[in-house]
Amino acid sequence: MNTPDAEALLEEINGWAAIESKSEELQGVTRMMERAMADFEAAGMLVEPIAGTEGLGPHFHARTPCGREGPSVLVLCHLDTVHPAGSLRRNPIRTEGDRAFGPGVYDMKGGVVLALAAARSLIGANVRTPLPIRFLVVSDEEIGSPTSQPHIRAAAANAAHVLVTEPARDGGKVVTARKGAARMKIAAQGKPAHSGVRHQDGESAVLEMARQIVDLEAMTRYETGLTLNVGLVHGGSGVNVVPEHCEAELDIRMTDLAEGEAAIARIRGIRPYNPEIRLTVSGGMNRPPYAKSNSVAALFEHARGLAAEIGFELHDTFTGGGSDGNFTASIAPTLDGLGVDGAGAHTMEEHLLVSSLVPRMLLLRRLFETLKA
Ligand SMILES: [Zn+2]
């Protein structure tokens, strides 16, 4: 079987990283998706585009040409990044020793190239895998997958296993559990007044929000993995005006779904300290928690055995960060973090480790070759 070397894989990754593709930058992200569709097609895969909606980029399905229906191995990928156009100037594509830098090389263009290369070499060698290999490649993961989420759930419902090509953690670990995440927004409306002349007539939305924030943050329970972070607050219109409006945005993370849902319900029911203030709550669960179930553990053990045959030790880990794996984990056994090793996701230090490319491509290929229904 034709196995690409690290140099060839890196060249392919760098070609994709050269196309800047921040989720909300429609032109760039569309160019990236079109380029990837062409590359998947050239690899002999059957590509089915999904048109973009809500002003966001397109997604696509791609599958190996085995002609079979039924359960598949779903490879879940994203090609959007958090890096705005111009980031290539701040983190140019370059290799320094084992580290290859560039926006998106680690999260997760590198991982998608590895999975594509694995499928390409199987197709090239006419290997018939036990299950059809289906890719779903999306363009809005970094903003919470607002338009791809229904496609992700539908694809997972038809999958025997889900492999997510998010980057590896801390020295090549794959991910078998992730916290869930919710986003909420609270708006307070009070009554404005001149702070010098009629302070007593005002009803301060900022004061109300300050009290609420103390309560919200106090719901954090590190013991169980529930955290509430009020990360953004906007309020007031002038230093000498009793503020009429204040808005706070919360990021909630949870290990336990029921506990997270209870926290969301409690926030939806908050009452103002000052009865003259009106509070409006919006938002809710974004990605449910991804727990290491028995079937996830079995999938990891299988991957660990394959890695040992290839010649490396595979470990797993839990992370507070979310991914599209959160959507699939409750539907089909999901193994995440199968992409490239490296560091600096979401920063201008983002890089992959060149030495991780071939072993991890081989691991994906062995998973494709061995996973059964
Ligand atoms: Zn990612």
Q: Answer whether residue 140 is part of any domain.
A: yes
Which position has the token pair 């609270």?
A: 186
**170 and 245 share a domain?**
no
Give the residue from 245, 262, 287 where a domain finishes: 287
Residue 167 Cα to ligand 1 middle (Å): 7
Residue 16 Cα to ligand 1 middle (Å): 15
pLDDT the model gives residue 70: 82
Residue 195 Cα to ligand 1 middle (Å): 47
**109 and 225 share a domain?**
no
**143 and 29 share a domain?**
yes
Residue 350 Cα to ligand 1 middle (Å): 12
Q: Answer whether residue 81 is part of any domain.
A: yes
Domain ranges, residue 256:
180-287
Residue 164 Cα to ligand 1 middle (Å): 9
Q: Which residues pair with 184 in a beta bridge?
A: 250, 283
How close are the terminal C-alpha atoms of the chain, in Å? 24
Q: Answer whether residue 124 is part of any domain.
A: yes
Residue 337 Cα to ligand 1 middle (Å): 9
**55 and 175 share a domain?**
yes
Q: What is the pairing mode between strands 99-101 and 180-189? A: unpaired
Residues in the chain with pLDDT values less than 50: none
Residue 7 Cα to ligand 1 middle (Å): 23
**165 and 192 share a domain?**
no
Residue 278 Cα to ligand 1 middle (Å): 38
Q: What is the DSSP string of 258-310?
A: HHHHHHHHHHHT---SSTTSEEEEEEEEEE--B---HHHHHHHHHHHHHHHHH
Residue 142 Cα to ligand 1 middle (Å): 7
Q: Considering the entire predicted model, what is its pTM? A: 0.88
**351 and 274 share a domain?**
no
pLDDT the model gives residue 67: 67
**185 and 175 share a domain?**
no
pLDDT the model gives residue 257: 93
Residue 31 Cα to ligand 1 middle (Å): 18
Residue 78 Cα to ligand 1 middle (Å): 7
Q: Which residues pair with 74 in a beta bridge?
A: 134, 162
Distances (CA, A) of 230 to 219, 227, 269: 11, 10, 17
Q: Answer whether residue 69 is part of any domain.
A: yes
**71 and 203 share a domain?**
no
**173 and 189 share a domain?**
no
How far, in Å, CA of 348 to CA of 140, rounded? 20
**How many domains in the chain?**
2
- Other beta carbons within 10 angstroms of residue 218's beta carbon come to 9
Amino acid present at 121: S
Residue 115 Cα to ligand 1 middle (Å): 14
**149 and 225 share a domain?**
no
pLDDT in tens, 22-49: 999 999 999 999 999 999 999 999 999 9
